[in-house]
Amino acid sequence: MTSHHTPETVVCIANEGNEASLLLWRIYKTLPDADARSEGMLRVVDEEGEDYLYPEENFAPIHLPAEMRASFERAVRRQQKTNTTKSPRSLKVVSGPTVQRSRKRARGA
């Protein structure tokens, strides 16, 4: 991806080292994160509604038709709501085969 604009949806095209976390050809929602993009990473929302940082070369941007996008966004919000009630949010950075976990920084800090 050469644009600095974060695509709203991406499809996974590579998952080497992250096979348990990323499913090939699965569509994922992304969240804007300028710092991550400057490091060549994308913030991706998983099936449980949590966001992870992955190398952007693992994904290709896609455009969902409007009628599909609304349903997709509802499903993502439902997953995020379910996840919020289960456990505190944390930041997970995935770079190669190693997962690093740290507390998400408070906004504005």
Is position 19 within any domain?
yes
The domain tally of the chain equals 1
Structure confidence at residue 97 as a pLDDT band (50, 70, 90): very low
Is position 46 within any domain?
yes
Is position 3 within any domain?
no
Is position 109 within any domain?
no
Backbone angles phi, psi at 68, to 5 degrees: -85, -35
Tens of pLDDT, residue by residue over 75-92, are: 888 888 887 655 444 445
Q: Which residue has the higher pLDDT, 42 or 82?
A: 42
Is position 107 within any domain?
no
Q: Give the residue among 16, 19, 39, 41 at the shortest CA–CA distance from 31.
A: 41
7 token code pair: 């695509």
- How far is it, in rounded angstroms, from Cα 12 to Cα 104? 24
Please give the residue range of the domain that contains residue 51: 9-102
Q: What is the pLDDT of residue 78?
A: 86
Write down the pTM of the prediction: 0.68
Is position 78 within any domain?
yes
Please state the rounded mean pLDDT for residues 13-19.
Answer: 92
Q: What is the pLDDT of residue 54?
A: 96
pLDDT at position 101 over 80: no
Is position 64 within any domain?
yes
- How far is it, in rounded angstroms, from Cα 15 to Cα 10? 13
Is position 108 within any domain?
no
Q: Which residue has the higher pLDDT, 84 or 99?
A: 84
